[in-house]
Amino acid sequence: MLGNEAVARGLYEGGVAVVSSYPGTPSTEITEYVSKYDEVYSEWAPNEKVAMEVAFGSAFAGKRSFCGMKHVGLNVAADPLFTISYTGVNAGMVIAVADDPGMHSSQNEQDSRHYARAAKVPMLEPADSSECLKFAKLAFELSERFDTPVLLRLCTRIAHSQSVVETGERVEPEMRTYNKDQVKYVMMPGYARIRHPIVEERMRALTEFAETTDLNRVEMGGRSIGFITSGTSYQYVREAFGDSVSILKLGMVYPLPVKKIRDFAASVERVVVLEELDPFIEEHCRAIGVNVSGKDIFPIVGEFSQNLVREKMGLPVPQGRALEEAIPPRPPVMCAGCPHRGLFYALVRNKATVLGDIGCYALGANAPLFAMDYTICMGASISGLHGFNKARGEEGEKRAVAVIGDSTFMHSGVTGLIDIAYNGSNSTVIIADNSTTGMTGHQPNPTTGENIKGDPAGKVDLAALCRAVGIRRVRVVDPYNLKECEEVIKEELAASEPSVIISRRPCALLKTVRHNPPLRVNVEKCRGCRSCMKIGCPAISFRDKKAKIDNTLCVGCGVCTQMCAFDAFESESGEGAN
């Protein structure tokens, strides 16, 4: 079972009743799997802050709840987290956060363990799918026992690895009674001052729990080296050393035990802390006076592996062969038929400065389009554009645009647009509306008209929403139509008021999308001018000085035909395509 599926199973068995999340690699599948259990209410929320508040509302009301997110999602949800730490819960509440060391699909490499310490909530970290299930289930018990939300930390290699699990039965806890309790739940200064010492007392009790729980287990082997480790790093130690070393394997990474670590350190000759990203456990060890090695040996950046452990610890490292020849890299690309391609080409034609956002369209930054000037975080395209234009004035307004997807606009783009409308910059915002949340694997969102189960649901009308916040110029274009796209962008950049362009065309990978037959190149007509190569379509390559179409990839979108001055692209029937 996939780590994420095992978390979902653990939540289910643990009697979760309400689940609200926002998709984010590598956390997405937890909520997708949970949505298959009919006993559980589940949803995609517009963003992680909303999701965490929905989940908290359920725990407050008396039913066990969950929300899941990627590491950067926890930044968005940090606001509720720090205060629900004070209130505690009524029924159990579990929050999964998935870190991405090595940045397989993320914009930074932050270490979420800092949030556990900063918000003063316990954090568990499983090391395989079996623990994913067990810890998710146990987290509900801890949440209720210590009256606190509980963080469950995953990383890519745990979330996206499958290993064997044993499943159990679902417990169906009764709804807890709801009693109005202002001192506990109304966090005004007077009441919050009462709650803070209770939080400190809870952390003391949790530290005591950390000393005795079998979540933190000692596995004695050879005594020359003792590793303190957790999560996937534990697996790398075992892989490299077998049972020739001793290990303190931490299943709870916050709060950390004191006596248990001191006793373990005393039982071995040398202590090494193995942890990806920041020296979180290492600094704790030093703070309690235990002398350890850690980041003096192992890197603070990137993912670990068994060979890295072998190399840094002086063990023999397996060697591989390599060809002398340079192997060209294969970066991810916009798919054949991707509606973002035409939009970015039209932006290139306008020589636009593009403030980008988080989603598939970040691939517009790659060769050959290079059509992006910045990508920061969810929603930053729009608010950043407003600041850019306030700084550069008209000169900025005439050339800079924001590009943001439909789901990302719902997540945190609309607030930036409100700022533009309210504080008046003549900014041009482009919503790349592909009718889905693409990069994370096609989750519905508030603009798609269906919910997580695929049932009909409320649907936000993007154009009406933009008008409602005060944008008068709202245009809709088809990104497959290069000329229209280019002209509308030109007009809106020139306009002396803020505008929104909705570039609308569903993701080419959606199962509901009907494609045209693949195109082919008429080699008589093709002059080998390479104009069609400017759009970076993976279905078009160059052979024998002529363009060639890969008919297993081409979906007949016709964007290339608009690039060709010689009508060399034809549909299967031999007709020139539109």
Partner 1 sequence: MTQNIMIVGVGGQGSLLASKLLGRLMMNAGLDVKVSEVHGMSQRGGSVVTYVRAGEKVYSPIIDVGEADYIVSFEILEAARNLKYLAPNGRIVTNTQQVAPMPVITGEAQYPENLAEKIAAAGAEIDAFDALSLAEQAGSSKAVNIVLMGRLSRYLGIGEAEWLKALEETVPPKFLEINKKAFMLGRNAT
The contact set with partner 1 (CB under 8 A) reads: 2, 25-26, 28-29, 104-105, 128, 156-158, 160-164, 232, 235-236, 238-239, 305-307, 317-323, 325-335, 360, 362-363, 366-368, 439-441, 530, 533, 536, 538, 540-542, 550, 552
CB of 502 to partner 1, least distance (A): 23
User: Judged by CB, which is closer to partner 1: 366, or 571?
Assistant: 366
**Taking Cα atoms as reference points, which of 551, 542, 547 lies closest to residue 516?**
551
**β-sheet with 226-229: strand ranges across:** 216-219, 246-250, 226-229, 271-274
Name every residue whose Cβ is closer than 8 Å to that of residue 517 and which is 6 or more positions away in sequence.
Answer: 556, 571, 572
**Taking Cα atoms as reference points, which of 31, 38, 27 lies closest to residue 11?**
31
Burial 516-526 (b: 16+ CB within 10 A, else e): eebbbbbeeeb
Output DSSP code: residue 569: E
CB of 22 to partner 1, least distance (A): 14
User: Judged by CB, which is closer to partner 1: 196, or 527?
Assistant: 527
**What residue has token string 């590491």?**
71
Helix, coil or strand: residue 107 = coil
Task: Count CB atoms within 10 A of the CB of residue 234.
Answer: 24
User: Judged by CB, which is closer to partner 1: 190, or 368?
Assistant: 368
State how far the Cα of 478 lies from the Cα of 516, in Å rounded to an integer.
Answer: 16
CB of 338 to partner 1, least distance (A): 9
Q: What is the pairing mode between strands 65-70 and 226-229? A: unpaired
CB of 446 to partner 1, least distance (A): 22
User: Judged by CB, which is closer to partner 1: 187, or 365?
Assistant: 365
CB of 303 to partner 1, least distance (A): 8
User: Judged by CB, which is closer to partner 1: 273, or 334?
Assistant: 334
**Distance of alpha carbon 231 from its chain centroid, rounded?**
19
Phi, psi for 409 (deg, rounded to 5): -65, -40
CB of 105 to partner 1, least distance (A): 3
State how far the Cα of 86 lies from the Cα of 189, in Å rounded to an integer.
Answer: 12
State how far the Cα of 61 lies from the Cα of 179, in Å rounded to an integer.
Answer: 9
Residues 358 and 375 sit within 8 Å (Cβ to Cβ): yes
User: Judged by CB, which is closer to partner 1: 23, or 46?
Assistant: 23
User: Judged by CB, which is closer to partner 1: 102, or 413?
Assistant: 102
State how far the Cα of 541 lies from the Cα of 530, in Å rounded to an integer.
Answer: 10
CB of 302 to partner 1, least distance (A): 13
User: Judged by CB, which is closer to partner 1: 67, or 539?
Assistant: 539
CB of 521 to partner 1, least distance (A): 14
